[in-house]
Amino acid sequence: MSDSAIIALAAALTIALSTVFPALAQGKTARAAMESIARQPEAAKDIRGALLLSMALMEALTIYGLLIAFMLVGKIA
């Protein structure tokens, strides 16, 4: 296997893993937030704020994975 093929495979795995796992975590987080709001509607504002912050941090992981994949693909050319 050539170096460029290994780098391309690494880039593909980076995109796949950095997309799947944060997406699963976001789903679990949103589910937990909705359950919490259903149990305590008066705390909805605080829960929503924490939810948005945690979603933004999880999304940053995906963006970092995309950045790493772009850097790997840049090594091929």
- Overall number of domains in the chain: 1
Please report which confidence band the pLDDT of residue 76 belongs to, taking 50, 70 and 90 as the band edges.
confident
- Kindly report the CATH number assigned to the domain that includes residue 71: 1.20.20.10
Crossing angle between the packed helical segments 3-39 and 44-76, to the nearest 10 degrees: 180
| pLDDT tens digits along 4-50 | 999 999 999 999 999 999 999 999 999 999 999 999 999 999 999 99
What is the residue range of 49's domain?
3-76
Mean local confidence (pLDDT), 46-65: 95
pLDDT of 51 reads: 96
**Which element (helix H / strand E) includes 55?**
helix 44-76
Instruction: Give CA separation, 42 vs 45, 48, 58, 59, in Å.
Output: 8, 11, 26, 27
Whole-prediction pTM: 0.80
